[in-house]
């Protein structure tokens, strides 16, 4: 008796689970196809043509022929009247007046105007200039950025004792500093490059790699580089250069993608229902 009750219970639970698993699929609305309406438009026979009596079209009358236009008579051609144009005569040549002794004076010599000699223009003074950029301009905490500093002598004379200093902000930590020429030292947040002499038109490239360690907001996200020299500077306004670095937050969680877990619940119910039905048959065989 207990085996029969257990078999009935397992069978009932299996059927309920199968029905519950199939029910969401059966209740899914099916989109009906759009109906095509055909409207029959009655056609009517065209009315018979009516006879239109022809009308007499008036015949155009003869157009009068224009009369001949009189031809203008020949205009007399003016005759060439010779005119005597006076020819300019050459200016009289100066005559040499004899001196009281009967000797002619020596001819006058032309006066020479002295040409001024060019004034020497001193060379343009030295002009060490600095420019700076950062890549990438937008970073996140934990990522690395590269500051690039270019030092160029835009003047006409050699610059001596050229030194570049760059104090990195506190939200980044320097990792490496390299220069195409010069002595590089890193002391905490301070990067110092001693270039020495810099010829006119020469450029020295400095790269500083740093790691972003904290969030920062403007105007505290700027970085300033300064170049100095003991030579007279032609333009002190280009001795500094600053750049901004924007630090953004990384989202804490990524959006979920794929199939939601609730879609697998009906499938699990079907599997469990079939398992319970199979167990009910096994209980029946053991009872037999």
- For residue 160, count other CB atoms closer than 10 A to its CB: 14
Give the pLDDT score at 11.
73
The pLDDT of 168-194, averaged and rounded, is: 96
% of the chain residues with pLDDT over 90: 42
The pLDDT of 106-120, averaged and rounded, is: 46
Give the pLDDT score at 158.
96
Residue partners of 233: CB distance under 8 A and separation at least 6: 125, 126, 127, 128, 239
Q: How far is the C-alpha of 77 from the C-alpha of 168, rounded, in Å?
A: 97
> Is the full-model pTM beyond 0.85?
no
CATH 2.60.40.1530 fits 128-248, yes or no: yes
Of the listed ranges 22-26, 163-167, 178-182, 236-240, the least confidently predicted one is: 22-26
pLDDT at 111 over 90: no
% of the chain residues with pLDDT over 70: 55
Domain ranges of the chain: 128-248
Residue among 225, 206, 231, 224 nearest 153 (CA):
231
């Amino acid at each position: 008796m207990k085996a029969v009750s257990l078999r009935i219970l397992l069978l009932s639970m299996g059927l309920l689970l199968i029905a519950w698993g199939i029910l969401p699929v059966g209740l899914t609305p099916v989109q009906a196809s759009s109906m095509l309406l055909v409207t029959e438009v009655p056609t009517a026979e065209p009315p018979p043509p009516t006879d239109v009596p022809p009308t007499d079209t008036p015949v155009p009358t003869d157009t009068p022929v224009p009369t001949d236009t009189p031809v203008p008579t020949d205009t007399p051609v003016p005759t060439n009247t010779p005119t005597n144009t006076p020819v300019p005569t050459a200016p009289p040549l100066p005559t040499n007046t004899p001196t009281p002794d009967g000797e002619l004076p020596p001819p006058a010599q032309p006066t020479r105007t002295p040409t001024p000699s060019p004034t020497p223009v001193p060379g343009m003074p030295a002009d060490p200039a600095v420019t700076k950029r950062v890549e990438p301009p937008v970073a996140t905490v934990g990522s690395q950025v590269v500051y690039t500093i270019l030092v160029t002598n835009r003047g006409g004379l050699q610059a001596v004792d050229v030194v570049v200093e760059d104090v990195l902000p506190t939200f980044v930590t320097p990792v490496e500093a390299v220069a195409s020429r010069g002595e590089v030292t890193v002391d905490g947040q301070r990067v110092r490059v001693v270039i020495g002499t810099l010829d006119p038109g020469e450029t020295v490239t400095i790269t500083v790699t740093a790691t972003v360690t904290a969030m920062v907001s403007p105007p505290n996200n700027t970085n300033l580089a300064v170049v100095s020299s003991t030579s007279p500077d032609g333009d002190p306004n280009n001795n500094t250069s600053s750049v901004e670095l924007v630090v953004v937050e990384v989202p804490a969680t990524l959006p979920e993608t794929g199939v939601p877990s609730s879609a697998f619940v009906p499938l699990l119910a079907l599997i469990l229902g079939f398992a319970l039905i199979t167990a009910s048959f096994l209980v029946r065989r053991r009872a037999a």
